[in-house]
Structure 1
Amino acid sequence: MLTRDLLRARRSGGECRTRPTAHGRLERPWDRRVTSTASSPLVLHGRLGQRARLRSGELLLESGREVRRVPVAAIDRVEVRGRGGRRLAVVLTGPENGVPETYLLTSRSRIAVERFATVLSEALPVRDAAEPQVPGPRRVTVERRERRTRPGWRRILAVEPGTAVAAAFCLVMVALLVTGSWAGALCWLFVPLLGGAGVSLTSLGWKTARDGWVLVTRGITVDGRRKNSGSIDHGDTDALYVYLFTDTDGAPRAYRGSNGGRDEEEITYDPRDPGVSQLRRRTVAQLVAGLALLLVLVLPLLAGGVVLGLLAFADLFGFGFWSLGEF
């Protein structure tokens, strides 16, 4: 094996570049696999929706629902062809006597083709003159994307909850107007106003009350030091105060909120979710505020929406509970 390498080096006029491996076997340059992680943000657009990208050492050629992945090690050279230099030619490695496979992409921009060809050429690996070339087409992989099907009846019926609620509201309103249930239509008009406001405030009140309850029952209190105000600290424009503290595991944490002002504060945080934190002197107030929001605002709004909805349906189906003429 060594004699063959020496003869090959003498015929090429160079030296035999071999090295012993950990197992004592001589390793030649072509025994090592050439890898590249070259990437570029450039995207070359061609005709009929063709695209070319360089990602993680691979040339991605997209055409319709087909994506060809061409490793840069399988590319022999990159050329700019065509009238005006608007055609990119990627020539793959191949046998000496054979015709190499070539991928062509024609773009409208000559500058874009030249820039992409330059970037792709710089990403090509340096090969040894005596290195045997593996045919490039063997390294190319082809992926096919799933075809986008038109939405059927099942997908059409599977609408968003908000869309379904809006459609139901419109249908009921049309039924009330057609049947002449003017009082019911007036009640039904206020249902989304009250119900929507109640639903929107439910998540806010529930989160406030839940976080307050968690901090009061299982929260851990540590000392925190104020960093600066949110108006100065980048990214904390919604917070007036930023306090830095360290949890029991030694990880640095930060409390951001409108409560504070002192240089040092006791911070209570949830050990299961350290992102939930509050000043210790404000944990009970947070719990009370959340419960008050749910009981004083959310519950009356939802109850009012339900009552008005029931009155509207009563007028629609003529249950005789009340009518507009009784006013």
Structure 2
Amino acid sequence: MQSRASERRIPVAAIERVEVKGPKGRRLVVVLTAPEAGDRESLTVYSRSAPGVLALAHTLRQSLPIRDETQPRADGALLVTRVPVAKPATDWRRVALRCSVSLYLLAAAAMLIRGVSGAAEWYVALACWLIGIVAVPLRHGVRAGWEMARETWRLRTCGVLVEGRKLYSGTYEFTDIEGRARQLTDAYESAEQVQILYDPTAAEQVAQVGPRTAGTLAFAALVCLLSLAATVTLAAIGVAGPLAVLDVLPVGL
């Protein structure tokens, strides 16, 4: 049983019986064993799924040991252990995304209010705001270019060159330095045997056909820089829209 602060682990030996309660059968009650029948503690689990509660109750009942009524019981509450739940690390990327979306929605509301109130040329600010939204998909180009450049640089500095054999069209098999067989797909190659450069230190497979990396590295850097410049420019245009609404910048941008 898990909550935000802790997790309670209940061994089957500590359970006296399992009951399904509630008007719709969505409450599972776990009654713990105790030396005296009147001292038994119960724990309750709530669920939105009544069939799920019934299935769990059925499984637990099948797992319970068979006890006589006169058989002495241990205190089941002492067998229940509590383990603190570790708080997950803050996902700053998600926080930044939520803040950005909130700011964009506030800016849209401000522009709509200015438009309804009859402010002159408010549509110019709205156009800037809409253009700035294009920066969101363009940031994926920045990330893709950066990842390509990083992988290519790792191949350039840590790569190992091995022989690759053609399996079928565009797919080659090679053996790494640990003797494991791997496959690489390259739709632009058709030769029976090629040289494959791969990084043995990478957690995921990073490989390419051919030993040359200068061209790929230059292309990745170009994609990253162009996408970054376009993203920054569009983001600046998008920010200029709300600033124009607030009369920080002139509307006639």
- Calculate the TM-score normalised by the size of structure 1: 0.48
How far does the alpha carbon of each residue in 1:175-206 deviate from its partner, in whole angstroms, 9 at most, with x for none?
A: 99776457964873574166446433222222
Unaligned runs of 5+ in 1: 1-59, 146-156, 230-240
Q: CA deviation at 1:281?
A: 5.6
Unaligned runs of 5+ in 2: 86-94
Q: Counterpart of 2:10 in 1: which secondary structure?
A: strand
Matches within 5 A, 1:164-183: 166-167=104-105, 170=108, 180=120
Asked if the contact 2:33/2:41 (under 8 Å) is kept, the reply is no
Identity of aligned residues (%): 32
Q: CA deviation at 1:242?
A: 4.1
| 2:100 aligned to which of 158, 162, 168 | 162
Q: CA deviation at 1:252?
A: 4.4
Asked if the contact 1:176/1:316 (under 8 Å) is kept, the reply is no
| 1:277 aligned to which of 193, 207, 210 | 207
Asked if the contact 2:132/2:235 (under 8 Å) is kept, the reply is no
Distance 1:289 1:77 in 2: 67
Asked if the contact 1:224/1:243 (under 8 Å) is kept, the reply is yes
Distance 2:54 2:236 in 1: 70
| 1:225 aligned to which of 127, 146, 165 | 165
Asked if the contact 1:91/1:100 (under 8 Å) is kept, the reply is no
Answer 1 or 2: higher relative contact order, Cα 8 Å, separation at least 6: 2
Asked if the contact 1:187/1:308 (under 8 Å) is kept, the reply is no
Asked if the contact 2:174/2:182 (under 8 Å) is kept, the reply is yes
Residue identity matched to 1:225: R
Asked if the contact 1:220/1:269 (under 8 Å) is kept, the reply is yes
Q: CA deviation at 1:280?
A: 1.5
| 2:175 aligned to which of 246, 259, 266 | 246
Matched, 1:286 2:216: yes
Distance 1:304 1:159 in 2: 19
Larger helix proportion of the pair: 2
Asked if the contact 2:111/2:126 (under 8 Å) is kept, the reply is no
Residue identity matched to 1:214: R
Distance 1:303 1:104 in 2: 55
- Calculate the TM-score normalised by the size of structure 2: 0.58
Residue identity matched to 2:178: D
Distance 2:249 2:19 in 1: 78
Asked if the contact 1:223/1:264 (under 8 Å) is kept, the reply is yes
Matched, 1:210 2:150: yes
Q: CA deviation at 1:264?
A: 3.5
Partner of 2:15: 75
Q: Closer, same or farther in 2 for the Cα pair 1:253/1:102, shift >3 Å?
A: same
- Aligned Cα root-mean-square deviation (Å): 5.6
Partner of 2:184: 255
Asked if the contact 1:88/1:113 (under 8 Å) is kept, the reply is yes
Q: CA deviation at 1:276?
A: 1.7
Matches within 5 A, 1:108-147: 115-125=55-65, 133-141=73-81
Report how many aligned residue pairs link the two structures: 236
105-114 or 258-267, larger mean C-alpha shift: 105-114
Q: Counterpart of 2:148 in 1: which secondary structure?
A: helix
